[in-house]
């Protein structure tokens, strides 16, 4: 009984933290070929207001951005940050289905 209660409590805590997370975006970035490149993109995106986390997958040339709750990332802001880092944004989509389709602003 105690184990079931503990598992239920852990599940509720995880569910609450997942629902509190902000909008998530997936960016396709051309030219990210090494950790130094990834660092440059990550550093520039972290300067955008509302960005909580940036994760770069060098092998797939994908950057995942998590925004603070209530904050959004527009395609224009993402393109500017990626351009300023010296790379090219080739795709932009919002990762959480509950938030809607791609932001094409």
Task: Give the pLDDT confidence of 48-74 residue by residue, as tens digits.
Answer: 999 999 999 999 999 999 999 999 999
Q: How far apart are CA 23 and CA 51, in angstroms?
A: 10
Q: How far apart are CA 20 and CA 11, in angstroms?
A: 14
Task: Give the pLDDT confidence of 2-29 residue by residue, as tens digits.
Answer: 444 334 444 444 444 444 457 999 999 9
Phi, psi of 98 (to 5 degrees): -70, -15
Residue 104's nearest CA partner among 94, 96, 70, 53 is: 94
> Domains in the chain and their CATH numbers?
22-99 (3.30.70.100)
> 27 with 94: CB under 8 angstroms?
no
How much is the average pLDDT of 83-91?
Answer: 96
Phi, psi of 56 (to 5 degrees): -110, 130
């Amino acid at each position: 009984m105690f184990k079931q209660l503990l598992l239920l409590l852990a599940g509720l805590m995880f569910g609450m933290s997942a629902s509190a997370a902000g909008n998530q975006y997936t960016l396709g970035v051309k030219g990210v070929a090494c950790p130094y490149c990834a660092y440059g993109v990550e550093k520039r995106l972290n300067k955008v207001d509302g960005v909580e986390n940036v994760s770069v997958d060098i092998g797939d040339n994908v950057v995942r951005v998590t925004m603070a709750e209530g904050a959004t990332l527009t395609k224009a802001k993402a393109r500017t940050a990626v351009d300023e880092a010296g790379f090219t944004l080739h795709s932009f989509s919002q990762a959480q289905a509950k938030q809607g389709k791609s932001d094409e602003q």
